[in-house]
């Protein structure tokens, strides 16, 4: 569908409302309720085709209340409606309105067939119904509301109706002839409005493209960061010194593992099963000589939270201990999480986990899994969140945050594999490969990424601002169309 046609379909209500206002104020048409415009002769409504019987091809198109003009096909002639065509279809639940000028089969309950009085051309009547705003987005019954709405009416106006329909039909396909269809002033106003909206829409689309490019650029920067490409010059200036954790990742890894084992020996972390050695065919890309491949489970103990049960029992909730849910992590777009929504009482501690401030966390369930945050306050959390415990001070948590952020799409794909509801268990997280840089280079990577992200965020804000201006302008233009 072309932008021209798309803009027409999105704004046909406004265009017809302009015409209707002109008919009522200038041509002195009256307004009557939709119910009074419907012919008393009813269609013989036959049974609808069951959705399980829809075919991809067949003799007779099926028309339902879905957005698609044709929902499928049927070969059952007994269900065919082939009289009083063309007609208008109204979706009682969906409010979808269709102009049908071919024999069809009804495809679902909730399809209302509107047959107008002979004083209306069916296509003109269709455009009038399209102009009605029922002010409802709910999946409910809307036909009774539609019947009470008012539309323009005048007897013996078929010629004018034909002219208006011809104008709107030609406008839709960008084939307006060099002539006046029914009124030069109204036609010029609608055409100018259409072109204006089209230009604004081009600006909005361009901004959307730029937003997409910005997102791709962010991902590219993160990928280059975790592969060591951003800090190639840094390594030239800071060559590896074997045994020094600042420039030798193998030495850093040994120190981190030693600290983790100490925490296990002290009972602060649970002993975990050994992780498999990294196979050559697992390694996704080459890394600098001073780096080393590890699994996340080697450098941290990864645990999930829990939820006091039952959730509605007030004896656990509304206390003075912070309790995080997935939405707390996903509703912000910052590295650090500084706020919470829910609290629990001390009695609920046995049902969840408590972690100290500055713990790195990762959402692990639902469509928003794979979102990392560093929580700045001591907290408990539910089982939709994983926490990285025992991370050594000899590790830059912001670097690990950027690594996790670069893996969000991968986490989602892994979690959804073979499952209905995506779920990222701790085994998947723990076995995830990390290209580990030495400590000083982690800091250099974070500084470089922060600097680049700040520049990109400024560009992103400018794009969003331009997009908002264009959308505001669109609304202003539509409002002024009736002045």
pLDDT tens for residues 204-214? 888 888 989 99
| Fold designation for 241-273+282-437 | Adenine-n6-DNA-methyltransferase TaqI; Chain A, domain 2 (3.90.220)
Strand partners, 90: 97, 112
Strand partners, 151: 32
The whole-angstrom separation of Cα 364 and Cα 375 is 16
Average pLDDT for 243-252: 94
Neighbours of 245 (CB within 10 A): 20
pLDDT score, position 376: 96
- Asked, colleague to colleague, whether 3-180 and 241-273+282-437 share their fold, the answer is yes
pLDDT score, position 418: 59
What percentage of the chain has pLDDT greater than the value 70?
Answer: 95
Task: Let me know: does 70 contact 62? Beta carbons within 8 Å.
Answer: yes
Average pLDDT for 68-91: 92
Average pLDDT for 20-24: 95
**Has residue 43 got a pLDDT over 60?**
no
Q: Which residue do the tokens 């002219």 mark?
A: 163
Q: Is the pTM of this model over 0.75?
A: no
Which of 275-279, 307-311, 328-332 shows the lowest mean pLDDT across its residues?
307-311
The whole-angstrom separation of Cα 157 and Cα 180 is 17
Q: Which residue do the tokens 């910052």 mark?
A: 334
Per-residue pLDDT tens digits for 296-309? 999 999 999 998 87
pLDDT score, position 42: 52
Mean pLDDT of the chain: 90
Average pLDDT for 418-430: 80
Task: Give me 46's structure tokens.
Answer: 């036959």
pLDDT score, position 62: 94
Which of 40-54, 174-188, 230-244, 464-478 shows the lowest mean pLDDT across its residues?
40-54
Q: How do strand 353-355 and strand 379-381 relate by DSSP bridges? A: antiparallel
Torsional sign, CA 5, 195, 190, 472? positive
Per-residue pLDDT tens digits for 132-159? 988 876 667 899 899 999 999 999 999 9
Task: Give me 328's structure tokens.
Answer: 């707390």
Q: How do strand 87-91 and strand 111-114 relate by DSSP bridges? A: antiparallel
- CATH number for the region 3-180 comes to 3.90.220.20
The structural domains of the chain, with segments of one domain joined by +, span 3-180, 241-273+282-437
**Has residue 52 got a pLDDT over 90?**
no
Average pLDDT for 385-395: 87
Question: What does residue 63 show for φ and ψ, rounded to 5 degrees?
Answer: -115, 120
pLDDT score, position 28: 92
Task: Let me know: does 369 contact 363? Beta carbons within 8 Å.
Answer: yes
pLDDT score, position 41: 57
pLDDT score, position 206: 87
Per-residue pLDDT tens digits for 94-139? 999 999 999 999 987 788 999 999 999 999 999 999 999 888 766 6
Q: Which residue has the higher pLDDT, 315 or 6?
A: 6
pLDDT score, position 91: 92
Per-residue pLDDT tens digits for 395-423? 899 999 999 999 988 888 887 775 666 77
């Amino acid at each position: 569908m072309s932008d021209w046609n798309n803009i027409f379909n999105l704004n046909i209500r406004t265009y017809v409302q302009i015409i209707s206002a002109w008919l009522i104020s200038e041509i002195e048409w009256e307004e009557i309720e939709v119910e009074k415009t419907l012919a008393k002769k009813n269609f013989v409504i036959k049974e609808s085709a069951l959705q399980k019987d829809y075919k991809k091809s067949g003799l007779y198109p099926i028309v339902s209340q879905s957005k698609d003009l044709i929902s499928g096909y049927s070969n059952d002639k007994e269900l065919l409606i082939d009289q009083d065509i063309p007609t208008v279809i109204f979706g009682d639940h969906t409010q979808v309105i269709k102009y049908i000028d071919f024999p069809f089969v009804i495809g679902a309950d909730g399809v209302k067939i509107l047959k107008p009085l002979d004083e209306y051309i069916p296509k003109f009547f269709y455009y009038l119904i399209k102009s009605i705003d029922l002010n409802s987005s709910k999946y409910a019954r809307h036909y009774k509301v539609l019947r009470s709405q008012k539309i323009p009416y005048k007897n013996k106006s078929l010629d004018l109706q034909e002219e208006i329909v011809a104008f709107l039909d030609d406008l839709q396909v960008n084939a307006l002839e060099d002539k006046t269809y029914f009124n030069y002033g109204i036609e010029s106003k609608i055409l100018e409005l259409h072109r204006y909206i089209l230009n604004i829409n081009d600006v909005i689309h361009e901004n959307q493209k730029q937003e997409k490019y910005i997102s791709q650029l962010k991902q590219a920067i993160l990928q280059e960061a975790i592969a060591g490409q951003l800090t190639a010059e840094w390594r030239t200036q800071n060559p590896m010194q074997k045994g020094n954790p600042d420039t030798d990742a193998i030495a850093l890894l040994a120190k981190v593992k030693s600290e983790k084992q100490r925490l296990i020996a002290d009972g602060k972390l649970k002993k975990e099963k050994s992780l498999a050695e990294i196979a050559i065919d697992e390694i996704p890309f080459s890394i600098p000589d001073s780096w080393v491949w590890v699994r996340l489970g080697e450098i941290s103990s990864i645990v999930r939270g829990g939820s006091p049960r039952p959730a509605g029992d007030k004896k656990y909730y509304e206390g003075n201990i912070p309790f995080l849910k997935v939405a707390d992590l996903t509703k912000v777009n910052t590295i650090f999480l500084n706020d919470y929504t829910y609290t629990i009482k001390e009695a609920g501690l046995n049902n969840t986990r408590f972690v100290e401030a500055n713990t790195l966390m990762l959402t692990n369930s639902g469509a928003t899994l794979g979102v990392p945050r560093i929580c700045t306050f001591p907290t408990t959390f539910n089982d939709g969140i994983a926490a990285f415990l025992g991370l050594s001070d000899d590790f830059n948590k912001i670097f690990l945050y950027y690594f996790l952020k670069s893996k969000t799409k991968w986490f989602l794909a892994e979690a959804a594999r073979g499952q209905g509801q995506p779920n990222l268990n701790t085994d998947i997280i723990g076995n995830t490969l990390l290209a580990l840089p030495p400590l000083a280079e982690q800091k250099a990577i974070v500084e470089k990424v922060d600097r680049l992200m700040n520049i990109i965020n400024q560009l992103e804000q400018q794009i969003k601002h331009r997009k908002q201006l264009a959308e505001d302008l669109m609304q202003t233009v539509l409002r002024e169309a009736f002045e």
